[in-house]
Amino acid sequence: MKLEVGYIDIKGIRFGDYNAVEDGILIVNPEPLLEPVLEDPLIKSAHFEIATPGESIRITPVKDVIEPRVKVEGSGGVFPGMISKVNTVGSGKTHVLRGMAVVTAGPIVGFQEGIIDMTGVGADYTPFSKLHNLVLVMEPVDNFKQHEYEAAARLAGLRTAVAIGELARDLVPDETVIYETPTVAETFKEEWKHLPRVGYVMMLQSQGLLHDTYVYGVDAKRTLSTMISATEVMDGAIVSGNCVSACDKNTTYHHQNNPVIHDLLAVHGKKINFVGTIITNENVYLDDKIRSSDWTSKMASYLSLDAAIISQEGFGNPDTDLIMNCTKLEKQGIKTVIITDEYAGQDGKSQSLADADELANAVVTGGNANEVVILPPLDRVIGTLDYVDTVAGGHAGSLRPDGSIEAELQIITGATNEMGFNRMSAR
Partner 1 sequence: MVKEIERTGIPVVHMCTVTPISMTVGANRIVPTIAIPHPLGNPELPLDEEYALRRKLVDKALEALSTEVDDQTIFEV
Alpha-carbon distances, residue 259 vs 25, 152, 202, 296 (angstroms):
26, 28, 11, 21
Tell me which stretch binds partner 1 (CB under 8 A): 166-174, 179-187, 351-359, 374-382. 351-359
Q: Are strands 307-311 and 211-215 parallel, antiparallel or unpaired?
A: unpaired
Q: How far apart are the first and last CA of the chain?
A: 40
How many residues of this chain bind partner 1 (CB under 8 A)? 16
User: Is residue 361 close enough to count as binding partner 1 by CB under 8 A?
Assistant: no
Over its C-alpha atoms, the chain yields an Rg (Å, rounded) of 21
User: Which residue in 324, 337, 338, 419 binds partner 1 (CB under 8 A)?
Assistant: 324
Residue 96 CA to residue 131 CA, distance in Å, equals 14
User: Which residue in 270, 285, 396, 427 binds partner 1 (CB under 8 A)?
Assistant: 285
Q: Are 341 and 368 in contact (CB under 8 A)?
A: yes
User: Is residue 341 close enough to count as binding partner 1 by CB under 8 A?
Assistant: no
Pick the closer one to partner 1 by CB: 56 or 351: 351
Is residue 326 among the annotated active site residues? no
Exactly one of 33, 243, 323, 391 is catalytic; which is it? 243
Q: Are 372 and 47 in contact (CB under 8 A)?
A: no
The helix (run of H) or strand (run of E) holding residue 406 is strand 405-408
Tell me which stretch binds partner 1 (CB under 8 A): 25-33, 50-58, 123-131, 278-286. 278-286
Tell me how far, at minimum, the Cβ of 250 lies from partner 1, in Å: 20
Q: What ranges make up the beta strands (E) of 29-124? A: 43-51, 57-66, 69-73, 92-98, 100-105, 114-117
Q: Please report how the helices 146-166 and 30-39 are oriented relative to each other, as an axis angle in degrees rounded to 10.
A: 150
User: Is residue 209 close enough to count as binding partner 1 by CB under 8 A?
Assistant: yes
User: Is residue 355 close enough to count as binding partner 1 by CB under 8 A?
Assistant: yes
User: Is residue 221 close enough to count as binding partner 1 by CB under 8 A?
Assistant: no
Tell me how far, at minimum, the Cβ of 285 lies from partner 1, in Å: 5
Residue 262 CA to residue 231 CA, distance in Å, equals 10
User: Is residue 323 close enough to count as binding partner 1 by CB under 8 A?
Assistant: yes
Tell me which stretch binds partner 1 (CB under 8 A): 87-95, 171-179, 320-328, 406-414. 320-328
Pick the closer one to partner 1 by CB: 18 or 285: 285
Tell me which stretch binds partner 1 (CB under 8 A): 165-173, 241-249, 262-270, 281-289. 281-289
Residue 187 CA to residue 195 CA, distance in Å, equals 10
The interface with partner 1 within residues 287-306 (CB under 8 A) comprises 289
Question: What's the distance, CA 388 to chain centroid?
Answer: 22
User: Is residue 146 close enough to count as binding partner 1 by CB under 8 A?
Assistant: no
Which residues bind to partner 1, rule: CB under 8 A?
A: 207-209, 284-286, 289, 317, 319-320, 323-324, 354-357
Kindly list the catalytic residues: 243
